[in-house]
Structure 1
Amino acid sequence: MDDRTSITADTLELLLLNQQALRAGLEELSLWISQRGSTNVHDNMLSILTTLDTNSDAIVSGIESLRS
């Protein structure tokens, strides 16, 4: 792996960690909102969380590809 590929993989990994942290925070907020009766907002948030999960899987695959 050359330096440029390594830097790209490292940067993507940091972005992935940020995305995972934001996802966790959004999930906590979504549960808090749901407990206060706004199930519509909670359902919308679940859709967003699913998208984040899907994109996270794709980023992981890209990082693995760069590192191999």
Structure 2
Amino acid sequence: MPSPEYSLPDTLERIYKNQLALEAAIMELTLWAEDCKTSNVGENVRGALETIGENAGHIKQGLARIKQNGKM
């Protein structure tokens, strides 16, 4: 079995994928909370999700630059 790569770009890529998975899970909980008529909770969580989305874009661009430059 090949050993996993522990380079900085690989590690950051995994963090990014975790962030996307957490975003999806939080969205599911948000939809459930809104269905239960707890719109205040839904609004608060949507604000946090907006921040996650903005950061995800920044992380993705940073990863692309790191991989392009070959920095470790």
Same fold (TM over 0.5): yes
More helix by share: 1
Q: List 4+ stretches of structure 1 deviating above 4 A.
A: none
CA offset at residue 15 of structure 1?
Answer: 0.2
Deviations 1:3-54 (A, max 9, x none): xxx8111111000000000000000000000000000000001001000000
Q: Whole-Å Cα distance in 2 between the matches of residues 10 and 54 of structure 1?
A: 21
CA offset at residue 56 of structure 1?
Answer: 0.4
Q: Whole-Å Cα distance in 1 between the matches of residues 41 and 47 of structure 2?
A: 10
- Number of aligned residue pairs: give it: 63
> Which amino acid in 2 is paired with 1:36?
C
TM-score scaled to structure 1, two decimals? 0.89
1:7 aligns with 2:30: no
TM-score scaled to structure 2, two decimals? 0.84
Greater relative contact order, per chain length (Cα 8 Å cut-off, separation 6+): 1
CA RMSD of aligned residues (A): 1.1
Q: Which residue of 2 aligns with 1:32?
A: 32
Q: Whole-Å Cα distance in 1 between the matches of residues 30 and 64 of structure 2?
A: 31
Q: Structure 2 unaligned runs (5+)?
A: 1-5
Structure 1 residues 46-61: aligned runs within 5 Å? 46-61=46-61
**SS where residue 42 of structure 1 aligns?**
helix
Q: Structure 1 unaligned runs (5+)?
A: 1-5
